[in-house]
Structure 1
Amino acid sequence: MVQLRLGDTVPDFTQASSMGDISFHEWAGDSWVVLFSHPADYTPVCTTELGEVAKLKSEFDKRNVKVIALSVDDTDSHQGWINDINETQTTNVNYPILADSDKKVSDLYDMIHPNANAKVTVRTVFVIDPQKKLRLTLTYPPSTGRNFDEVLRVIDSLQLTDNYQVATPANWEEGEDVVVAPTIPTEEAKQKFPKGVTEIKPYLRMTPQPDK
């Protein structure tokens, strides 16, 4: 079993989904991807999660992010579950759900944690960049629903910090001040960030978000 680590190229696969067969790398194209896994169809917490992601689809689209779910049940089961999600969450599931009944993708992405439950996938979020590199993993227990505002916040941070020599501080939200990368001397930072650099400590310098 290969454990995926940040910066690794994620494995490619071809698998059935609620929207037909998907060849993952080809489907992803030059987009970012959020792949999120579920223990099984017709599970209550996951029903709310898939509905929430459907409602946030326009937010993911704005960030050039494709979303794709995974559950270990088959496509017929997925279709019935999607009807329930649409009805109970007042939405329309508008992205594919992989059917991983053979657990091929679950094994590739190490989604089965035997000490938690050997029979089902854990509830993990993978954020993957356009180069197919793994940039974030979040793994939740079955009893705790995921916070997809946090997933969007992390993607905002990743996309910003990929393009500028900055990092984002605790609880950062889009539009707030960011941290100047410690590798840049303060005088150089003042030239690089014309909106201003505030030196709190020599290693802690803040600047307004540079792309705003």
Structure 2
Amino acid sequence: MTDSIVSFPQLNRPAPAFNAKTTHGMRSLTDYKGKWLVLFSHPADFTPVCTTEFIGFAQRAEEFAHINTELLGLSIDSVHSHIAWVRNIEENFGVDITFPIISDLSMEVAKAYGMIQPGASDTSAVRATFIIDPEGMLRAMVYYPMSNGRSIDEFVRLVKALQTSDANGVATPENWQPGDDVIVPPPATTADAKARLSQGYDYVDWYFSKKSL
């Protein structure tokens, strides 16, 4: 008996294409070419944890836009449910949800992105977040349990870190923030390892050196 093969998105591979109905009309992955995209799912409309997350994303939308990043939400509810929820958030919390929300009643997008986790729910998308670069490549994905909200600050930080790594050919250390020192890639040969000490970096050992940008 052959087990069925389930396909999941992979880092540094093209993100799964989609063409979906949203609260702002039809949206496809190609609409975001040239921009970074944060695609995030939530279990259901009109739920308290999701409401706090949508408020958090909305309050940081301008900062995301400043770093060439668009936001796109998703749940397996209808467009009409999304619209009612967005209006409810504005009425009750005074926050305008300016980004589109995918209506994924068929679960097509959710399944393509591995948002459906049978251990959590067969009918709702878990709290999954995907960062897609301007070329449509999937660069990061983070899954949260149904019971706990995400940190929007971390996704702002992560996009900035990815952009810094791409622009400068470096890595970033734990909890790196813009302006902090970055990690220089380790040398690939013994000769380069010997030379590393004299190259002017903040040197700890041949494999661990930092520099400022």
Aligned partner (choices 77, 80, 83) of residue 79 of structure 1? 83
TM-score (norm 2): 0.90
Match of 1:111 among 111, 115, 136: 115
- 1:116 Cα shift? 1.2
User: Does residue 2 of structure 1 match 2:45?
Assistant: no
Q: 1:44 and 1:180 mapped to 2: Cα distance?
A: 43
**Are residues 1:133 and 2:137 paired?**
yes
- Residue 35 of structure 2 is aligned with which of 31, 34, 48? 31
Asked whether the 8 Å contact 1:126–1:136 carries over to 2, the reply is yes
Identity value in percent: 37
Which residue does the alignment assign to 2:180? Answer: 176
Which of 195, 198, 201 is the equivalent residue of 1:197?
Answer: 201
Q: Cα distance, 1:8 vs. partner?
A: 1.3
| 1:190/1:84 CA distance change after superposition, 3 Å | farther
Number of matched pairs: 204
**How far apart are the structure 1 equivalents of 2:96 and 2:90?**
5
Q: Is the 8 A contact 1:72 1:103 kept in 2?
A: yes
SS at match of 1:66: strand
- Pairs within 5 Å for 1:34-53: 34-53=38-57
Of 3, 22, 26, which aligns to 1:21? 26
**Correspondence 1:93 to 2:110:** no
Q: CA deviation at 1:84?
A: 1.7
* CA apart distance, 1:206: 1.1
1:162 maps to 166
The SS at the match of 1:87 is: helix
Q: Secondary structure at the match of 1:127?
A: strand
Q: Which amino acid aligns with 1:169?
A: P
TM-score, structure 1 normalization: 0.91
- Any gaps of 5 or more consecutive residues in structure 1? none
Structure 2 unpaired stretches of 5+: 1-5
Cα distance in structure 2, aligned partners of 1:114 and 1:52: 27
Q: Distance in 1 between matches of 2:197 and 2:114?
A: 41
2:55 corresponds to 1:12: no
